[in-house]
Amino acid sequence: MLKRCCETNKYRHNKYNEENQYLNLLDDILATCNNQEGRNGKTLSIFGSTMHFTLEHNKIPIMTTKKVAWKTCLRELLWFIKGDTNNKHLKEKNVHIWDENGSRQFLDGRGLSKFMEDDLGPIYGFQWRHYNAKYIDCNSDYSNKGIDQLKEVIECLKDPEKRNSRRMIITAWNPCQLDIMALPPCHIFMQFNVTNNNKLSCAMYQRSNDEACGTCFNIASYCFLTHLLAKHCDLEPYEFLYYKGNCHIYEEHIDNIKMQLQREPFEFPTLEIINKREHIEDYVETDFVVTNYKHHEAIKYIMKP
Q: How many CB atoms lie within 10 A of CB 139?
A: 10
Nearest to 9 by CA among 263, 230, 236: 263
C-alpha to C-alpha distance for 56 and 133, rounded to whole angstroms? 37
From the candidates 186, 213, 233, 247, which is the catalytic residue?
186
Sequence-distant (6+) residues with CB within 8 A of 143 are none
The verdict on whether 186 is a catalytic residue reads yes
Q: How many CB atoms lie within 10 A of CB 42?
A: 15
Q: Which amino acid is at 139?
A: N
Q: How many CB atoms lie within 10 A of CB 11?
A: 8
Cβ-contact 147, 129 below 8 angstroms: no
Q: Which amino acid is at 63?
A: M
For helices 215-232 and 149-158, angle between their N-to-C axes, nearest 10 degrees: 50
| CA triple 151-218-202, angle to 5 deg | 45
C-alpha to C-alpha distance for 134 and 302, rounded to whole angstroms? 34
Which residues are marked as active site? Answer: 186
